[in-house]
Amino acid sequence: ATISCSRPWSCRTDMRLVNNKPKTKSNITYGIDDNPPWYLCIFMALQHYLTMIGAIVSIPFILTPALCMKDDDPARSHIICTMIFVTGLVTWFQATFGCRLPIVQGGTISFLVPTLAIMNLPQWQCPEPDVLNAMSPENRTELWQVRMRELSGAIAVSAILQAAIGLFGIVGVLLKYITPLTIVPTVSLVGLSLFEDAGHAASQHWGIAAGTFLMLTVFSQILSEVKVPVLGYKYGEGFTVIWFQLFKLFPVLLTIMIMWGVCGLLTLSGYLPEGHPARTDVKLRIIEDSPWFRFPYPGQWGAPTVTAAGVLGMLAGVLACTVESISYYPTTARMCEAPPPPVHSINRGIAIEGIGTILAGLWGSGNGTNTFGENVGAIGVTKIGSRRVIQYAAVLMLIQGLISKFGAVFIIIPQPVVGGMFCVMFGMIAAFGLSALQYVDLNSSRNLYIIGFSIFFSLVLPKWMQANPHVIQTGSDVADSIITVLLSTSILVGGVTGCLCDNLIPGTPEERGLIAWQKQMKLVYDEDDTTNTYDFPVGMTFIRKFKVFSYMPFMPTYKPRKTEKPNTDTTISHISTSRL
């Protein structure tokens, strides 16, 4: 089976190998229920942590300008530390009481598209630069915090739907209408909609940006199978040389570090003029003004505010993340050579992700949570599928989220380097969306019509709405804001357009790709499954005593009623958008 993740450079080869290995010969060093020694857990947790950081650091570079924050505002580091802290918190709960798979839950680009649509409303657009510069520090702080409170409320309330989808077990109902021709515009538009942000950042210095994406291409695509000798220590054997797949595991971090060093040399040599975005000393004030330790807490930017326009706009990101995470659960299980996740595990995983997104909103991270595909890929490379390792990684994230200066270091990455990374990352997200076309008949004029119209129209309408934010005049400010946000969110417009066209325009199941898609993955209930891999770590004796728990779709003892038809024909796609 072909398995994809959000970073092809980290999982392209090994993910295929796992599924093709004979079951009699294990291809994993530590399985999902294994507990490696504590010192190995720390080292392997550090790998997952570094993999996660490479994806999460890009989010504030798009989020904070939309909030009207200053480039050197120390609060930028507080936001990224909050993201890391919430990532650790939700990851621990997901691995321990959620789906019980070794996955990392963190920030996602899927929420940035509706975020930008909301911030483009007239009441949230940033004032002119002259007005911003004339503001006092207190007013400038309140300017971005009131926007953060709006996003926090929208994220938290919209995620209630995701939690309900898991708690009430309606995943199968949702996926009956989400076909490959719905996935294609929804996922691909996550990357395509952000091309202006990538272009703006890269245009600060195209030479450095080009060096960034060329180096990332070399590391992730050409040198991915090259192993690097590293000095290691094995108990009983002493120091030994270990051949480590450095370029496959950390292509993003390596690229950032090297290009950051290049920018440092250009800064020291005086080649870059004072104040140039590529200089490494432009935002040093952030590190100086950030405290060493700071505890992020719910409502740290003030009490979240809730508006109908914000909540409805964020629902697009919530639904995209729901489908994406569901697709990762069976993939991760195969990577760990674990039993396929039962229905109750998937329901519980979606519920915990929804609750995690609610917490992310209340904590004020400005983003939600979603399964990190790059960490799933790391399992295929390291052959470490232990749940305990992810729990260690979660604790490491919690600790690191308290160190404010650490977050400040990532905020001062030169802008052209970030732009070069965006050019690759956003392009790959769009490509993964388009890869769902492998299921449908591309010789069908019906399918070509749906694909072309849903993608092109979803780029045209939101762009026009952003240029004309006052065009909707219903007589009600609330209705105007709701309609404007919905029509400005490209992934929502594309998903709805593709879904309606595919379900309304006549077509055979083979033509629509439903037959091939059904063979890829299924949500099934196995009555003969006696494994306890997905049971709670505590309390199972109590849960089995009471029959009432077997009626709850998220409990380990859940069984579909005799009058309820199991979801044997409900399928999910392996295509996912991931976060950075």
Mean pLDDT taken over the chain: 81
The predicted pLDDT at position 391 comes to 94
With 90 as the cut, is the pLDDT of residue 146 above it? yes
Looking at the chain, the whole-number percentage of residues with pLDDT higher than 70 is 87
Residues ≥6 apart with Cβ < 8 Å to 59: 80, 83, 107, 108, 109, 112, 366, 367, 579, 580
Please give the angle made by the CA atoms of 321, 324 and 325, to the nearest 5 degrees. 85
Q: Are residues 485 and 309 in contact, defined by beta-carbon separation less than 8 angstroms?
A: yes
Least confident of 182-191, 337-346, 378-387: 378-387
pLDDT at 80 over 60: yes
Tell me how far CA of residue 209 lies from CA of 51, 201, 260, 272, 412, in angstroms. 21, 8, 11, 15, 16
Dihedral of alpha carbons 225, 226, 230, 234, sign: positive
Higher pLDDT, 447 or 247: 447
Say what percent of the chain tops pLDDT 90: 22
Q: Taking the CA of residue 226 as centre, how many other CA atoms within 13 Å lie in the half-sphere pointing to its CB?
A: 10
Report how far residue 202's alpha carbon sits from residue 229's, in angstroms, rounded to the nearest whole number: 34
Per the model's pLDDT, the better-predicted residue between 406 and 155 turns out to be 155
Ranges 191-200, 391-400, 429-438, 513-522: which has the least confidence:
513-522
Determine the average pLDDT of the residues in 174-189. Answer: 82
| Measured distance CA(545)–CA(539) in Å, rounded | 10
Per-residue pLDDT reduced to its tens digit, 417-460: 888 888 887 887 788 788 888 889 999 999 999 999 999 999 99
State how far the Cα of 272 lies from the Cα of 417, in Å rounded to an integer. 14
d(CA 341, CA 334): 10
Residue pair 19/442 in contact by the 8 Å Cβ criterion? no
- Which residues lie across from 234 on neighbouring strands? 238
Residue with more model confidence, 93 or 294: 93
pTM of this prediction? 0.77
pLDDT given for residue 539 in this prediction = 86
Q: What is the pLDDT of residues 308-332, one digit of tens each?
A: 888 988 888 888 888 778 877 877 8
| Helix/strand/coil for 300 | coil
Q: Lowest-confidence range among 27-31, 544-548, 551-555?
A: 27-31
Q: Which of 18-27, 130-139, 268-277 has the lowest mean pLDDT?
A: 18-27
pLDDT of 34 reads: 87
Q: How confident is the model at residue 354 (pLDDT cuts 50, 70, 90)?
A: very high
Most confident of 137-151, 287-301, 546-560: 137-151
Q: Computed over its alpha carbons, how large is the radius of gyration of the chain? A: 23
Residue with tokens 């065009």, as numbered in its chain: 471
Is 310 exposed, middle or buried (CB count within 10 Å of its CB: 0-12, 13-18, 19+)?
Answer: buried
Residue linked to tokens 């936001």? 79
Whether the per-residue pLDDT at 214 is higher than 70: the answer is yes
Matching residue, tokens 């026009």? 464
pLDDT at 14: 39
HSE toward the beta carbon, residue 36, CA cutoff 13 A: 22
Arithmetic mean of pLDDT, 43-62: 78
Per-residue pLDDT at 5 exceeds 50: no
Q: For residue range 224-243, list pLDDT tens digits in order.
A: 788 888 777 666 677 778 78
pLDDT at 570 over 70: no
Q: Name the nearest CA neighbour of 60 among 81, 34, 35.
A: 81
